[in-house]
C-alpha cells in the first residue's frame, strides 16, 4: 500500500473520468509538495516471491489462531457489556507479538494522527498495538495529555477504503469505495458511494454515503444545483488505494484538501477524516471561547450544544462545523462539514485537521474564495444569509435577571430618560414569570407589566422578554394550557419508550417541545399570540435551548444502549451525551435526539420567527443562546453567561468576530458582564466597546451590583452616555452594513485580515476590529490604562473625531485613551454617513445626515447608504428602499440615487466634512452654487447648512 502523504499532481494515480481497474498497481514515485514540510515515510517495497511466502506463512499462523479462538469463544459465556468495539485482527510475529514497523519512528511528531482518541484513557503499548498502530511515548511528558503529541498513531500503511470505480455524472463524478479490513469500531460500512458535485466555479460539494441504507442527514435547506460549474477554480484528484481525495486551487496549485494523509473511517457511529492544511491560519469552528485565530498545537475542539458559562477548552452553546483557512499567499478558502452529530475537530501542527463524528454522513463543501470575504459570502450562499434586522434592534438594550418587579424595571427606564441616555429596548429575565412558567407573568410583582410595555411604546421604545423551552408538566390538570394542549397534540419530546420525557428546568419538572415537529410550530404560535394579547412584547429572547436540563437525561435516567453509550464519545463536558440535557435516545419527530440535539436552538428560532411574522407582519427580533448554521436567517445571538472581568471583556471580540464569519452578525456580549459585580472603570470601558457590538445589550445577574449607566458616578455616567450617543450617530452606517450582510453575506464587525489579507500581521489580531471596511475600533481592554496600543495596516488613517491624519507603514501605534474616549479611525478612501443622535433610533433616524469623507492620498473616496422604513419585511426584495452611492474624485463629491423611495425624501444632508484636503480651497460650490465652508489646519474641510434632500442627486466641488 502507499504511505499516507501530502501529494503533488504527479503523485496521483488517476484523475478525471477514467474507470479504475481494481487490480491496477498503485506504486509510484512520491515527491514533496513543499520540501520544507515533513512528509510521512514511504513503506518498503518487497518482491512478489517474498510477499507470497510471507503471506502463506501468515495465513497458516492466523488460521491456527482463529481455530483456537473459535473453540475458546464457544465455551465462553455471553458478554453483558454494552456495545464494545471488537478487537481487530492483529499482524503478529512467530512469537505472537505485533511487529511495529520501523517506519513508525520515521513519522515526524507533527504528522502523527491519533489512533486512540478516546478521552480519559491512559493508552498503553498493548492497547495501541491491539489497534495495529504505532506506539512511541512522547519524551516531554510521562502520560499522554488531552492536547499533546499522540503516543498511539496510525502506521504509514494503515488499512482504509479503496476507490474501485469512478465515472462522470451531469454534476461531477460518482465513485465506489470498498473496505476489505475491519476497523476497531463496530459496524463498519464496507461499501460507500462517493459523489462529487461541481456546484459553482468556487464551490465544490462532496458526499460520502451508504448506498445500501439511508442514514441521517441534516435537515437544513441547502441549494440544489442542476448545472455543473463551467469553469471551476479547483481541480480534484484521487488516490486509489488507500483512498484519498485531493482538492487544489487551479490558479496556484495550492492543496486545499488532502484526505490521503490518514485513514478514512466510516462506521455506524464513528466517522473520521483527516486533511492537511495549507497553513496554520484557521478560524471559525464555533462555538468555543478562544482567540479568533485557532491554535493548531494539538488543539481539539468539541461540538455538542451545551449549557455552560463561556469557558476555554469545552463545548459551548452552539455548533458550527465551518472553518476559514488563510493560505500563505493571502488567498483563503473555507470548509463546511454539514453534520449535526457530536464531534471532535482535532488540530495539529503539521498543520492538519481531523474530523471525528458519531453519526450522519460525510457531506462537505469547499469554498474557493479567493479572499476571506468571498469565502464567507459563498458559505452563506449555502446555509443562508442573515435576516435584515428591524431598526430598533440596533439600539441600546438594557436587561437584568433580578429587577424583581415591573415597577423597578419601569424606574430604570425612567432614570435613563431623565439623564438623556439613549435606550431603545427594555428586557426582563425569568423573574417576570409566574413561578417561572412560560407564557405567564407574575400578577403580584409584575402587575404593571402591560402598562410598562404600553409606556415604552408611547416613547418609541420596545420590550423583549425571555422564554425557555422547558414547559412545566406538574401543574394541576386543566390549569396550564401550554402543557395540557401540548400533551393533547403530542408535540413534546418522548423518551425511548414513547412516553413524554420529563426533565427539570426553572419551573421544576418539565417537558420539552419538539420543534422538529411542524405541529409544535402551530402550538408555539398560539401560545405567543395569546400572551401577546396580554403583554404586547416586541421581541423574544429564547434561552436554555441546547436544550438545558437540570437532570442528566430525564427524571428516570436514560437506557443503557448504543445511543447513550456510543463506541466513541467526543470530549463533551460531563463525559456523556446526556450531561445537562435530555437523553440521546429520546424520540423526536424527524429523528432521535442523538442526531438533532445541536439543532434544537435553530429549530426553536425558526418556529419563533414564523410565529412573530404571522403575528406582526414585521421583521422579527429574536436572540438565541444555542445556534447552528443558518441561524442568522432567524435570530441573533449573545455570547452567553459571561463574567464581570477584564478577561471576559477582551474575549468578547474574538467571539463577535467568529460569529460574523459564521453568518450571525447580530452578535454581542453582555456589557459590563453577567456574573459577578462590575467595577466602574470596567463598565465604562465595556460600554465603549459594547457601543460597537452589532447587538448592544447591558445584562446583569440577580443579586449583583446595579450596572445600568445611571448607577455610576456623574463622570462615568457621562462617559457611557457619550459612547451610546456615538453609536446612535453611526446608525445609518451600521444599518447599511446590515443591508450588505443580508444581501451579499458581508461581515458587519470585520476582522482586520479581511481587509488586509496580504498583511500577515493582521492574521492574529482580535483586540481590534473594523465596522465594514472603513471604521477601525481600538478599545481599551485592561484596567488602569489611559492609552492603548493599536495596529494600523499600511496606509493613511484619520482620527474619526478630529480628522487628524496618521500615516502608517504597518505598525503598532500608541494612542491616548482617557476614560471618556474610545479610539476610532477612518480608513482612507471611505465615506461614512452619520446622523444627529437622539434618545431612541426612531427619533434619531429622522435627523439630518452628516457625511464624513476620508480622502485617499490621491483624493478619492466612496461610500453608500441604504434606507427604508426600518421594519417592513423584505423591503429590498420588494423594491421598497432607497440606495445612495457617494463618490469623490478630482475635488468633487457626487451623491447618486441608484434606487429611490419615499423614505429618502424625509432625510436631508446637513453637513459634509472632508478629511485630507491638502490645501485650503478658494471656493466651494454645491450644485454649482457657492457655499460657505470652513477649513482647519489639520486639512479638514467642512461644508455646513446644506439642506440637501437625500432623494436627489447633488455635487459638492472645491478648488
Active-site residue numbers?
543, 546
Instruction: Kindly report the three-state secondary structure assignment for every residue of 478-499.
Output: CCCHHHHHHHHHCCECECCCCC
Instruction: Kindly report the three-state secondary structure assignment for every residue of 50-118.
Output: HHHHHHHHHHHHHHHHHHHHHHHHHCCCCCCCCCCCCCCCCCECCCCCECCCHHHHHCCHHHCCECCCC
Q: At what angle do helices 646-661 and 680-690 cross, to 10 degrees?
A: 10
Distance between CA 503 and CA 489 in Å, rounded? 19
Per-residue burial over 893-916, b = 16 or more CB atoms within 10 Å of its CB, e = otherwise:
bebebeebbebbeebebbbbbbbb
Q: How many helices (H) and strands (E) would you count in the chain?
A: 15, 51
**Are 387 and 636 contacting, i.e. CB atoms less than 8 angstroms apart?**
no
Q: What is the dihedral of CA 654, 657, 659, 661, to 10 degrees?
A: -130
Q: How many CB atoms lie within 10 A of CB 858?
A: 9
Q: Are strands 161-168 and 152-153 parallel, antiparallel or unpaired?
A: unpaired
Instruction: State how far Cα 388 lies from the chain centre.
Output: 18
Distance between CA 283 and CA 270 in Å, rounded? 25
- E-assigned strands of 577-669? 622-624, 636-638, 667-668
Instruction: Look up residue 612 and give its three cell numbers.
Output: 412573530
Distance between CA 752 and CA 765 in Å, rounded? 7
What DSSP assignment string belongs to 534-552? TS--SEEEE-STTT--SSS
The answer, yes or no, to whether the previous bond of 370 is cis (omega within 30 of 0) is: yes
- Residue 436 phi/psi, 5° resolution? 65, 25
Order of strands across the sheet that contains 270-276: 265-267, 270-276, 352-357, 343-348, 299-303
Q: What residues contact residue 437 under an 8 Å CB cut-off, 6+ apart?
A: 472, 475, 480, 482, 507
**Are 905 and 872 contacting, i.e. CB atoms less than 8 angstroms apart?**
no
**Are 524 and 611 contacting, i.e. CB atoms less than 8 angstroms apart?**
yes
Distance between CA 283 and CA 655 in Å, rounded? 11
The residue behind cell 451545551 is 306
Distance between CA 541 and CA 466 in Å, rounded? 4
Distance between CA 38 and CA 350 in Å, rounded? 8
Distance between CA 799 and CA 832 in Å, rounded? 13
Distance between CA 756 and CA 753 in Å, rounded? 5
- Residue 270 phi/psi, 5° resolution? -155, 115
Q: Return the bridge partners of 851, or none.
A: 833, 912
**Are 823 and 778 contacting, i.e. CB atoms less than 8 angstroms apart?**
yes
Instruction: State how far Cα 55 lies from the chain centre.
Output: 51
Distance between CA 552 and CA 566 in Å, rounded? 16
Instruction: Kindly report the three-state secondary structure assignment for every residue of 914-954.
Output: EECCCCCCCCEEECCEEECEEEECCCEEEECCCCEECCCCE
Distance between CA 822 and CA 560 in Å, rounded? 56
Amino acid at each position: 500500500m502507499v504511505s499516507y502523504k501530502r501529494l503533488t499532481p504527479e503523485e496521483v494515480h488517476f484523475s478525471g473520468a477514467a474507470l479504475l481497474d481494481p487490480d491496477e498497481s498503485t506504486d509510484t514515485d512520491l515527491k514533496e509538495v513543499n520540501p520544507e514540510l515533513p512528509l510521512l515515510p514511504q513503506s518498503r517495497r518487497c518482491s512478489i516471491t517474498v510477499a507470497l511466502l510471507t503471506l502463506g506463512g501468515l495465513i497458516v499462523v492466523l488460521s491456527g489462531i482463529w481455530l483456537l479462538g473459535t473453540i475458546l469463544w464457544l465455551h465462553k459465556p455471553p458478554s453483558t457489556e454494552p456495545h464494545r468495539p471488537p478487537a481487530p485482527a492483529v499482524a503478529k510475529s512467530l512469537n505472537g507479538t505485533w511487529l511495529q514497523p520501523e517506519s513508525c519512528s520515521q513519522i515526524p511528531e507533527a504528522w502523527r494522527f491519533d489512533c486512540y482518541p478516546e478521552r480519559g484513557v491512559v493508552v498503553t503499548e498493548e492497547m495501541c498495538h491491539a489497534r495495529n498502530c504505532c506506539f512511541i511515548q512522547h519524551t516531554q511528558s510521562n502520560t499522554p495529555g488531552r492536547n499533546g503529541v499522540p503516543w498511539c498513531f496510525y502506521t504509514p500503511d494503515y488499512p482504509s477504503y479503496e476507490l474501485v470505480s469512478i465515472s462522470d455524472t451531469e454534476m461531477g463524478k460518482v465513485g465506489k469505495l470498498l473496505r476489505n479490513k475491519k476497523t476497531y469500531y463496530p459496524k463498519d460500512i464496507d461499501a460507500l458511494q462517493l459523489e462529487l458535485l461541481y456546484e459553482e466555479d468556487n464551490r465544490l460539494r462532496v458526499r460520502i454515503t451508504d448506498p445500501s441504507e439511508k442514514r441521517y442527514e441534516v435537515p437544513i435547506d441547502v441549494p440544489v444545483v442542476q448545472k455543473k460549474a463551467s469553469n471551476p477554480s479547483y481541480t480534484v484528484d484521487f488516490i486509489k488505494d488507500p483512498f484519498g481525495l485531493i482538492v487544489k486551487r487551479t490558479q496556484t496549485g495550492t492543496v486545499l484538501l488532502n484526505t490521503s494523509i490518514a485513514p478514512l473511517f466510516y462506521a455506524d457511529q464513528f466517522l473520521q477524516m483527516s486533511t492537511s492544511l495549507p497553513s496554520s491560519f484557521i478560524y471559525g469552528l464555533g462555538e468555543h471561547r478562544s482567540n479568533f485565530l485557532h491554535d493548531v498545537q494539538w488543539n481539539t475542539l468539541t461540538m455538542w450544544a451545551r449549557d455552560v458559562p463561556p469557558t476555554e477548552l469545552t463545548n459551548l452553546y452552539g455548533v458550527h462545523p465551518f472553518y476559514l483557512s488563510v493560505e500563505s499567499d493571502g488567498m483563503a478558502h473555507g470548509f463546511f462539514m454539514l453534520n449535526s452529530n457530536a464531534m471532535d475537530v482535532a488540530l495539529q501542527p503539521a498543520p492538519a485537521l481531523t474530523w471525528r463524528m458519531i453519526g450522519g454522513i460525510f457531506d462537505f463543501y469547499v469554498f474557493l474564495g479567493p479572499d476571506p470575504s468571498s469565502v464567507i459570502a459563498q458559505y452563506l450562499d449555502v446555509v443562508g444569509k442573515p435576516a435584515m434586522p428591524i431598526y430598533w434592534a440596533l439600539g441600546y438594550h438594557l436587561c437584568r435577571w433580578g429587577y424583581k418587579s415591573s415597577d423597578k424595571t419601569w424606574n430604570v427606564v425612567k432614570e435613563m430618560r431623565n439623564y438623556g441616555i439613549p435606550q431603545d429596548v427594555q428586557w426582563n429575565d425569568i423573574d417576570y414569570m409566574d413561578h417561572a412558567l412560560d407564557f405567564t407573568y407574575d400578577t403580584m410583582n409584575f402587575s404593571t407589566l402591560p402598562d410598562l410595555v404600553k409606556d415604552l411604546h408611547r416613547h418609541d421604545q420596545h420590550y423583549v422578554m425571555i422564554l425557555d423551552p422547558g414547559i412545566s408538566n406538574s401543574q394541576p390538570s386543566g390549569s396550564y394550557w401550554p402543557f395540557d394542549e401540548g400533551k393533547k397534540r403530542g408535540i413534546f419530546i418522548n423518551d425511548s419508550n414513547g412516553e413524554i420525557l420529563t426533565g427539570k428546568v426553572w419551573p421544576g419538572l418539565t417537558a420539552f417541545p419538539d420543534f422538529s415537529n411542524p405541529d409544535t410550530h402551530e402550538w408555539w404560535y398560539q401560545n405567543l399570540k395569546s400572551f401577546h394579547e396580554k403583554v404586547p412584547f416586541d421581541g423574544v429572547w429564547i434561552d436554555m435551548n441546547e436544550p438545558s436540563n437540570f437532570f442528566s437525561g430525564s427524571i428516570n435516567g436514560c437506557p443503557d444502549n448504543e445511543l447513550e453509550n456510543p463506541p466513541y464519545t467526543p470530549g463533551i463536558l460531563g463525559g456523556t451525551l446526556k450531561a445537562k440535557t435530555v437523553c440521546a435516545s429520546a424520540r423526536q419527530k424527524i429523528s432521535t435526539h442523538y442526531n438533532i440535539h445541536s439543532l434544537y436552538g435553530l429549530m426553536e428560532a425558526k418556529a419563533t420567527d414564523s410565529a412573530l411574522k404571522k403575528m406582526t407582519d414585521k421583521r422579527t427580533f429574536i436572540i438565541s443562546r444555542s445556534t447552528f448554521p443558518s441561524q442568522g436567517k432567524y435570530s441573533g445571538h449573545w455570547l452567553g453567561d459571561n463574567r464581570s472581568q477584564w478577561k471576559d471583556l477582551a474575549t468578547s471580540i474574538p467571539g463577535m468576530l467568529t460569529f460574523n464569519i459564521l453568518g450571525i452578525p447580530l452578535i454581542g456580549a453582555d456589557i459590563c458582564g453577567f456574573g459577578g459585580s462590575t467595577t466602574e472603570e470596567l463598565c465604562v470601558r465595556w460600554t465603549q466597546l459594547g457601543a460597537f457590538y452589532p447587538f448592544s445589550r447591558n445584562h446583569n445577574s440577580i443579586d449583583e451590583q446595579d450596572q445600568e449607566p445611571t448607577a455610576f458616578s456623574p463622570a462615568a455616567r457621562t462617559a457611557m452616555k457619550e459612547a451610546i450617543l456615538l453609536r446612535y450617530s453611526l446608525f445609518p452606517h451600521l444599518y447599511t452594513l446590515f443591508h450588505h450582510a443580508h444581501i451579499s453575506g458581508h461581515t458587519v464587525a470585520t476582522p482586520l485580515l479581511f481587509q488586509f489579507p496580504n498583511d500577515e500581521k493582521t492574521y492574529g489580531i482580535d483586540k481590534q476590529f473594523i465596522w465594514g471596511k472603513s471604521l477601525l475600533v481600538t478599545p481599551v481592554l485592561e484596567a488602569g490604562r489611559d492609552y492603548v496600543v493599536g495596529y494600523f495596516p499600511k496606509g493613511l488613517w484619520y482620527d474619526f473625531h478630529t480628522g487628524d491624519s496618521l500615516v502608517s507603514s504597518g505598525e503598532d501605534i500608541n494612542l491616548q485613551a482617557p476614560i471618556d474616549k474610545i479610539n476610532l479611525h477612518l480608513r482612507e478612501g471611505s465615506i461614512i454617513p452619520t446622523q444627529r443622535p437622539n434618545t431612541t433610533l426612531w427619533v434619531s433616524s429622522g435627523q439630518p445626515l452628516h457625511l464624513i469623507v476620508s480622502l485617499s492620498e490621491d483624493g478619492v473616496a466612496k461610500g453608500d447608504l441604504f434606507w427604508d422604513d426600518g421594519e417592513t419585511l423584505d423591503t429590498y426584495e420588494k423594491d421598497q428602499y432607497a440606495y445612495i452611492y457617494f463618490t469623490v474624485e478630482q475635488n468633487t463629491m457626487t451623491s447618486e440615487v441608484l434606487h429611490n423611495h419615499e423614505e429618502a425624501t424625509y432625510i436631508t444632508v446637513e453637513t459634509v466634512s472632508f478629511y485630507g484636503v491638502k490645501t485650503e480651497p478658494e471656493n466651494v460650490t454645491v450644485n454649482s452654487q457657492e457655499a460657505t465652508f470652513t477649513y482647519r489646519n489639520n486639512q479638514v474641510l467642512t461644508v455646513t447648512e446644506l439642506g440637501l434632500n437625500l432623494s436627489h442627486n447633488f455635487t459638492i466641488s472645491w478648488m
